[in-house]
Copies of this chain bind each other. A is one copy, B any other.
Amino acid sequence: MTIAGPNSGTRPDDARRHNRTALLRRLHVDGPCTRATLASELGLNRSTIKAVVDGLAEAGVVTEAVPAQRSGAGRPSLLVLPEASAAVVLAVDVRVDQVSMAMVGIGGQILGRHSWNLHRTTRLPGEVITHVAESAQLLRDELGVREQSVGVSVPGVVRRADGLVFEAPNLGWREVGLGTRLEAVLGSPTAVGNDGDLGALAEHLRGAAREVADLLYLSADVGVGGGVIVGGVPFRGSTGYLGEIGHMIVKPGGRACFCGEQGCWETEVGEPALCRALGLPEDTPRGVLVAELRGLTRVDLLDEVRDWLVTGLVTAVNLLAPEMVVLGDLFAALPAALVERVREEVHVRSLVSRAGGGTRIEVSPLGRDGKLVGAAELAFEPVLGTV
């Protein structure tokens, strides 16, 4: 993070705004901390910190408290706490089988949430948009808040500039102007992101990869999505479209994929593949599948899925050389013994993992909320500078 110093040539107002945003972002991402910690982390002197914190406290964005545990002899440094309701965003996670929504306050606190299941008929874009608008109004009324901005996660190829969903094969959507249409009905600025990309963002800011700059996030829902962060910055392809890791071809001539190809990674390791491996119908409810996975004693039933998971990971690790791979969503329900074997096999089979001393493979701690958390962070991006 760059802090405007005295010699940077920016005007004093810019510097003050910059410091305020940096401090707020620190509190938002890492939680409450003392004035002294803020000063040392942001490289600002105590009087600057005091001025910024006083300003934020006056605006009701932070509160201060005396820490319960004192360290050292002197006067304790005051603890600065973000005031969750001072800036609220609406996060929307559109999945193939469910939409989840949450009002999220500064610091990432979920103030209230709402979700409903999707079926063939309720999955149409118009139906989803109408339902999101109604649910947003319910949440606003119930919580007595109004979102400043909206972030939406979608399992598809998304153009960031205007939130156009070019193709979301598992939803059956093509060229849906989701960002524009939601913005119109919600009346708040709306950003749309690919679910894998937002899952990666969530892991980087609030999950398994907080200290990791080079990260591959991989998750299974009906499809398989992923996101890449390089040097702490989300990796975006050209033309504003993101890459689609679920559509790496891992098994040429394999099972037909919605995208038109055969043997895409998601056809071999996604939710239906897991169901088939366990002898369950492909449309087994998510809760049942997760319970089956968690209680699984015959891990060998998943040998083939594991093999395709490893094959795809070897390819991805050899190509991207991440420091850590985070397994999210349905992959986070895989038996621990299986994950351990995936770890070992990827390390042995990947030239790049061997060279780099081992790519870490971790399970997401965010559970099913990963993409919702990512959508909230997407929405917070423009907000933190204006509070």
Point out residues on A near B: beta carbons under 8 Å: 7-9, 157, 159, 166-167, 169, 213-214, 230, 235-239, 241-245, 247-252, 259-261, 311, 314-316, 318-323, 348-352, 354-357
Contacts and interface: CB of A to CB of B under 8 A. Distances in A.
B250 A319 contact: no
Given A318-B243, A356-B241, A351 B259 contact: yes
Contacts of A351: 157, 167, 169, 244, 247, 259-261
Among A213, A230, A248, the most chain B Cβ lie within 10 Å of the Cβ of A248
Interchain residue pairs A-B with the least CB separation, the first 5: A237-B321, A214-B238, A238-B323, A239-B356, A166-B355
Contacts of A166: 354-355
Contacts of A350: 247
Q: How many chain copies?
A: 2
Given A244-B352, A251-B252, 9 more contacts: A166-B355, A230-B230, A237-B320, A239-B321, A241-B355, A247-B351, A248-B319, A315-B315, A319-B319
Contact of A349 (B167, B239, B244, B261): B261
A142 to B, nearest CB: 38
A245 B318 contact: yes
A316 B314 contact: no
Contact of A320 (B159, B243, B250, B354): B243
